[in-house]
Protein backbone atom coordinates (compact mmCIF):
# COMPACT_ATOMS: atom_id res chain seq x y z
CA UNK A 1 0.00 0.00 0.00
CA UNK A 2 1.21 3.51 -0.79
CA UNK A 3 -0.35 6.90 -0.14
CA UNK A 4 0.39 10.38 -1.39
CA UNK A 5 0.07 11.47 2.23
CA UNK A 6 3.25 9.60 3.23
CA UNK A 7 6.77 10.45 2.09
CA UNK A 8 9.42 7.80 2.65
CA UNK A 9 13.11 8.16 1.96
CA UNK A 10 16.35 6.46 2.92
CA UNK A 11 19.63 8.34 3.19
CA UNK A 12 22.53 6.15 4.11
CA UNK A 13 21.21 3.86 6.83
CA UNK A 14 18.53 6.26 8.12
CA UNK A 15 14.89 6.03 7.03
CA UNK A 16 12.69 9.12 7.29
CA UNK A 17 8.90 8.86 7.24
CA UNK A 18 7.02 12.14 6.78
CA UNK A 19 3.26 12.66 7.12
CA UNK A 20 1.84 15.00 4.48
CA UNK A 21 -1.81 15.96 5.10
CA UNK A 22 -1.21 19.55 6.21
CA UNK A 23 -4.74 20.67 5.36
CA UNK A 24 -6.08 18.48 8.22
CA UNK A 25 -3.07 18.72 10.58
CA UNK A 26 -1.81 15.35 9.34
CA UNK A 27 -4.88 13.55 10.70
CA UNK A 28 -4.72 9.80 10.16
CA UNK A 29 -7.45 8.46 7.90
CA UNK A 30 -7.55 4.74 7.10
CA UNK A 31 -5.48 5.05 3.92
CA UNK A 32 -2.77 7.15 5.55
CA UNK A 33 -2.66 4.98 8.66
CA UNK A 34 -2.43 1.80 6.59
CA UNK A 35 0.41 3.22 4.52
CA UNK A 36 2.17 4.46 7.65
CA UNK A 37 2.03 1.03 9.26
CA UNK A 38 3.34 -0.56 6.07
CA UNK A 39 6.32 1.74 5.59
CA UNK A 40 7.19 1.60 9.29
CA UNK A 41 7.14 -2.20 9.19
CA UNK A 42 9.27 -2.25 6.05
CA UNK A 43 11.83 0.09 7.62
CA UNK A 44 11.85 -1.90 10.86
CA UNK A 45 12.54 -5.14 8.98
CA UNK A 46 15.02 -3.71 6.46
CA UNK A 47 18.58 -4.68 7.50
CA UNK A 48 19.94 -1.72 5.53
CA UNK A 49 18.07 0.69 7.83
CA UNK A 50 19.67 1.30 11.22
CA UNK A 51 17.39 4.07 12.54
CA UNK A 52 13.97 5.54 11.76
CA UNK A 53 12.83 9.17 11.96
CA UNK A 54 9.09 9.93 12.00
CA UNK A 55 8.02 13.53 11.39
CA UNK A 56 5.29 15.77 10.01
CA UNK A 57 5.21 19.41 8.97
CA UNK A 58 5.65 22.81 10.61
CA UNK A 59 2.04 23.01 11.85
CA UNK A 60 1.48 19.41 12.87
CA UNK A 61 3.26 16.17 13.65
CA UNK A 62 -0.17 14.52 13.59
CA UNK A 63 -3.45 15.38 15.27
CA UNK A 64 -4.32 11.69 15.53
CA UNK A 65 -7.25 9.81 14.05
CA UNK A 66 -9.27 11.66 11.40
CA UNK A 67 -12.50 12.41 13.28
CA UNK A 68 -14.42 13.23 10.11
CA UNK A 69 -13.76 9.71 8.83
CA UNK A 70 -14.41 8.26 12.28
CA UNK A 71 -17.90 9.79 12.21
CA UNK A 72 -18.76 7.49 9.30
CA UNK A 73 -17.59 4.28 10.98
CA UNK A 74 -19.48 1.69 12.96
CA UNK A 75 -18.07 -0.06 16.04
CA UNK A 76 -16.26 -2.62 13.86
CA UNK A 77 -14.66 0.18 11.88
CA UNK A 78 -13.55 1.91 15.05
CA UNK A 79 -12.02 -1.33 16.30
CA UNK A 80 -10.14 -1.70 13.00
CA UNK A 81 -8.76 1.84 13.29
CA UNK A 82 -7.78 1.36 16.93
CA UNK A 83 -6.02 -1.91 16.13
CA UNK A 84 -4.14 -0.29 13.23
CA UNK A 85 -2.90 2.43 15.60
CA UNK A 86 -1.92 -0.26 18.10
CA UNK A 87 0.01 -2.04 15.37
CA UNK A 88 1.87 1.16 14.50
CA UNK A 89 2.71 1.68 18.17
CA UNK A 90 4.00 -1.87 18.46
CA UNK A 91 6.13 -1.58 15.31
CA UNK A 92 7.74 1.63 16.54
CA UNK A 93 8.26 0.38 20.08
CA UNK A 94 9.64 -3.03 19.19
CA UNK A 95 11.58 -2.21 16.02
CA UNK A 96 15.08 -3.67 16.49
CA UNK A 97 16.51 -0.19 15.87
CA UNK A 98 16.01 3.30 17.34
CA UNK A 99 12.95 5.32 16.37
CA UNK A 100 12.85 9.11 16.71
CA UNK A 101 9.80 11.38 16.63
CA UNK A 102 10.65 14.87 15.35
CA UNK A 103 7.71 17.05 16.36
CA UNK A 104 6.67 20.50 15.23
CA UNK A 105 3.16 21.85 15.77
CA UNK A 106 0.38 19.63 17.05
CA UNK A 107 0.90 16.18 18.52
CA UNK A 108 -2.62 15.50 19.76
CA UNK A 109 -4.38 12.28 20.70
CA UNK A 110 -3.04 9.46 18.60
CA UNK A 111 -0.26 11.78 17.48
CA UNK A 112 1.12 12.17 20.99
CA UNK A 113 0.56 8.46 21.61
CA UNK A 114 2.50 7.55 18.47
CA UNK A 115 5.36 9.82 19.55
CA UNK A 116 5.66 8.23 23.00
CA UNK A 117 6.17 4.85 21.36
CA UNK A 118 9.34 6.15 19.73
CA UNK A 119 12.66 5.86 21.53
CA UNK A 120 13.21 9.62 21.48
CA UNK A 121 11.13 12.73 20.99
CA UNK A 122 12.58 16.06 19.93
CA UNK A 123 10.54 19.17 19.26
CA UNK A 124 10.49 22.76 18.07
CA UNK A 125 9.20 25.61 20.26
CA UNK A 126 5.95 25.44 18.25
CA UNK A 127 5.18 21.89 19.38
CA UNK A 128 2.04 21.30 21.43
CA UNK A 129 1.09 18.03 23.12
CA UNK A 130 -2.40 17.00 24.28
CA UNK A 131 -4.66 14.01 24.84
CA UNK A 132 -8.19 15.40 24.28
CA UNK A 133 -9.89 12.03 23.76
CA UNK A 134 -12.28 12.22 26.72
CA UNK A 135 -13.67 15.50 25.41
CA UNK A 136 -15.27 13.63 22.50
CA UNK A 137 -16.04 10.37 24.29
CA UNK A 138 -12.89 8.40 23.45
CA UNK A 139 -10.12 7.00 25.64
CA UNK A 140 -6.34 6.86 25.33
CA UNK A 141 -4.74 3.97 23.50
CA UNK A 142 -1.44 2.84 21.95
CA UNK A 143 0.03 1.83 25.28
CA UNK A 144 -0.01 5.41 26.50
CA UNK A 145 -1.79 4.49 29.73
CA UNK A 146 1.51 2.89 30.74
CA UNK A 147 4.10 4.82 28.75
CA UNK A 148 2.98 8.32 29.72
CA UNK A 149 3.13 7.49 33.41
CA UNK A 150 6.65 6.15 32.93
CA UNK A 151 7.78 9.23 31.05
CA UNK A 152 6.11 12.08 32.92
CA UNK A 153 4.63 10.54 36.07
CA UNK A 154 1.09 9.87 37.17
CA UNK A 155 0.19 13.48 37.94
CA UNK A 156 1.05 14.94 34.54
CA UNK A 157 -0.50 11.94 32.80
CA UNK A 158 -3.78 12.68 34.55
CA UNK A 159 -3.48 16.38 33.67
CA UNK A 160 -3.15 15.43 30.00
CA UNK A 161 -5.78 12.70 29.82
CA UNK A 162 -8.44 13.86 32.29
CA UNK A 163 -8.10 17.63 32.60
CA UNK A 164 -7.28 18.86 29.10
CA UNK A 165 -3.72 20.06 29.65
CA UNK A 166 -1.95 21.28 26.51
CA UNK A 167 1.80 21.16 26.97
CA UNK A 168 4.12 23.55 25.19
CA UNK A 169 7.59 22.41 24.19
CA UNK A 170 9.29 23.99 27.20
CA UNK A 171 7.00 22.21 29.65
CA UNK A 172 7.24 18.96 27.71
CA UNK A 173 11.02 19.09 27.98
CA UNK A 174 10.96 20.03 31.66
CA UNK A 175 8.78 17.05 32.62
CA UNK A 176 10.56 14.57 30.34
CA UNK A 177 8.10 14.10 27.48
CA UNK A 178 10.72 15.41 25.04
CA UNK A 179 14.47 15.49 25.56
CA UNK A 180 15.54 18.21 23.12
CA UNK A 181 13.96 21.44 21.88
CA UNK A 182 15.55 22.94 18.77
CA UNK A 183 14.75 25.72 16.33
CA UNK A 184 12.48 24.77 13.40
CA UNK A 185 15.30 24.97 10.85
CA UNK A 186 17.36 22.56 12.96
CA UNK A 187 14.71 19.91 13.67
CA UNK A 188 15.44 17.55 10.80
CA UNK A 189 19.22 17.95 11.14
CA UNK A 190 19.06 17.17 14.86
CA UNK A 191 16.92 14.08 14.25
CA UNK A 192 19.32 12.91 11.55
CA UNK A 193 22.29 13.50 13.85
CA UNK A 194 20.72 11.31 16.52
CA UNK A 195 19.80 8.64 13.99
CA UNK A 196 23.27 8.62 12.47
CA UNK A 197 24.86 8.18 15.88
CA UNK A 198 22.70 5.11 16.49
CA UNK A 199 23.52 3.85 13.01
CA UNK A 200 27.24 4.13 13.78
CA UNK A 201 26.93 1.76 16.75
CA UNK A 202 26.84 -2.02 16.90
CA UNK A 203 23.40 -2.91 15.54
CA UNK A 204 23.30 -6.10 17.56
CA UNK A 205 24.07 -4.18 20.74
CA UNK A 206 21.40 -1.59 19.89
CA UNK A 207 18.83 -4.34 19.32
CA UNK A 208 19.65 -6.07 22.60
CA UNK A 209 19.58 -2.77 24.49
CA UNK A 210 16.10 -2.00 23.15
CA UNK A 211 14.95 -5.45 24.22
CA UNK A 212 16.15 -4.71 27.75
CA UNK A 213 14.49 -1.29 27.82
CA UNK A 214 11.22 -2.71 26.50
CA UNK A 215 10.92 -5.45 29.12
CA UNK A 216 7.49 -4.69 30.62
CA UNK A 217 6.20 -5.87 33.99
CA UNK A 218 2.66 -5.79 32.60
CA UNK A 219 2.01 -7.74 29.41
CA UNK A 220 2.13 -5.29 26.49
CA UNK A 221 -0.45 -7.06 24.37
CA UNK A 222 -2.80 -7.50 27.33
CA UNK A 223 -2.63 -3.76 27.90
CA UNK A 224 -3.28 -2.97 24.23
CA UNK A 225 -6.30 -5.27 24.28
CA UNK A 226 -7.67 -3.56 27.38
CA UNK A 227 -7.23 -0.13 25.79
CA UNK A 228 -8.95 -1.21 22.58
CA UNK A 229 -11.90 -2.64 24.50
CA UNK A 230 -12.20 0.61 26.46
CA UNK A 231 -12.33 2.80 23.37
CA UNK A 232 -14.78 0.51 21.54
CA UNK A 233 -17.02 0.30 24.62
CA UNK A 234 -17.64 4.02 24.40
CA UNK A 235 -18.45 4.07 20.68
CA UNK A 236 -22.22 4.04 21.12
CA UNK A 237 -22.26 6.89 23.62
CA UNK A 238 -24.37 9.91 22.77
CA UNK A 239 -21.45 12.20 23.64
CA UNK A 240 -19.12 10.62 21.10
CA UNK A 241 -21.69 10.50 18.32
CA UNK A 242 -22.66 14.13 18.91
CA UNK A 243 -19.01 15.21 18.94
CA UNK A 244 -18.23 13.34 15.74
CA UNK A 245 -21.24 14.80 13.91
CA UNK A 246 -20.29 18.30 15.03
CA UNK A 247 -16.69 17.79 13.92
CA UNK A 248 -17.79 16.47 10.51
CA UNK A 249 -20.06 19.47 10.01
CA UNK A 250 -17.26 21.91 10.90
CA UNK A 251 -14.84 20.16 8.52
CA UNK A 252 -17.43 20.30 5.71
CA UNK A 253 -17.77 24.04 6.27
CA UNK A 254 -14.01 24.47 5.86
CA UNK A 255 -12.65 23.91 9.34
CA UNK A 256 -9.71 21.60 10.05
Distance from first CA to last CA of the chain, Å, rounded? 26
**C-alpha to C-alpha distance for 213 and 211, rounded to whole angstroms:** 6
Q: Which of 229, 246, 215, 209 is nearest to 79 (CA)?
A: 229
131/125 Cα distance (integer angstroms): 19
Query: 120: which strand partners?
Result: 100
What is the rounded CA–CA span in Å between residue 15 and residue 128? 25
What are the beta bridge partners of residue 99? 52
Q: CB count, 10 Å around CB of 58?
A: 11
Distance, in Å, from the CA atom of 16 to the CA atom of 251, rounded to the nearest integer, reads 30
Give strand ranges (E) for 20-179: 51-55, 60-62, 99-103, 106-108, 120-123, 128-130, 166-168
- Tell me the C-alpha distance between 118 and 115, whole Å: 5
Strands 106-108 and 60-62: parallel
Using CA atoms, how far residue 227 sits from 17, 64, 153, 230, in Å, is 26, 16, 19, 5
Of 143, 174, 177, residue with least CA distance to 160: 177
**239 classed as catalytic:** no
Catalytic-role residue among 23, 41, 113, 227: 113
Active site annotation includes 183: no
Active-site option among 10, 41, 83, 133: 133
Active site residues: 113, 133
Amino acid sequence: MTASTIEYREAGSVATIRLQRPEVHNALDAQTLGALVEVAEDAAQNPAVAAIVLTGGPRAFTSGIDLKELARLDAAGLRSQAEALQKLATVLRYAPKPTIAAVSGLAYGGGLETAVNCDARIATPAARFACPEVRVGLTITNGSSMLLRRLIGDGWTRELTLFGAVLDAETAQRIGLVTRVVEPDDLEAEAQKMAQYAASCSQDAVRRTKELLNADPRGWRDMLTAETEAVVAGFGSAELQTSLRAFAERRTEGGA
